[in-house]
Structure 1
Amino acid sequence: MDEHRVSPRQRVLKAGTISFNGAAGISCTVRNLSATGAALEVASPLGIPEQFTLVFDGDRSTKPCHIVWRKERRIGVAFD
């Protein structure tokens, strides 16, 4: 558990899209979510820019964010 986390994370399983440069985007799964950020599961973190817009597929809401950590198939983002 990261001691720097400001808000408690809630485990979720939501479909999302990593959108940048007006492109179609990269599919992802939102694995946990808080008011300040999220952990995303991706097929590969390669090619994902440092800053992008996370689109929640369910309600089409969006959150501009930036990457704070990367692991093999997961990235952690903070909302801007």
Structure 2
Amino acid sequence: MDNRRETTRRRVLLAGKVMLPGGGVIDCTLRDRSEGGARIKVLSVIGIPDEFRLLVEATGEMVQAKVVWRRPNEIGLRVL
């Protein structure tokens, strides 16, 4: 597999929330993360915009994220 990441991702299993611009919320699970990105698992990528805020529930951390790639139940993110 081609690894184009600038930093190494480490595996995690953290509950999160995709905070939609219109005020909605979609539950997700962070599966891995690095200094500049993350991979989240969702029930469906339908309705998730290209940019959104991501809340990491365990830490209360809120980051701005941009979608880099999508699969049916996963999204690769760049943290802005």
SS at match of 1:43: coil
Q: How far 1:22 sits from its partner (Å)?
A: 5.0
Q: Distance in 2 between matches of 1:42 and 1:5?
A: 22
Q: How far 1:24 sits from its partner (Å)?
A: 3.7
**Structure 2 unaligned blocks of 5 or more:** none
TM-score (norm: length of structure 2):
0.93
Question: Residue in 1 aligned with 2:10?
Answer: 10
Q: 1:24-75: per-residue Cα shift (whole Å, max 9, x none)?
A: 4100000000000000000000000000011001121111010000001000
**Structure 1 unaligned blocks of 5 or more:** none
Q: Distance in 2 between matches of 1:2 and 1:59?
A: 31
User: Alignment identity in percent?
Assistant: 36
TM-score (norm: length of structure 1):
0.93
Q: Distance in 2 between matches of 1:2 and 1:49?
A: 26
CA RMSD across the alignment: 1.1
Q: Distance in 2 between matches of 1:72 and 1:24?
A: 20
Q: Distance in 2 between matches of 1:39 and 1:59?
A: 17
Q: Aligned residue pairs: how many?
A: 80
Q: Distance in 2 between matches of 1:39 and 1:21?
A: 20
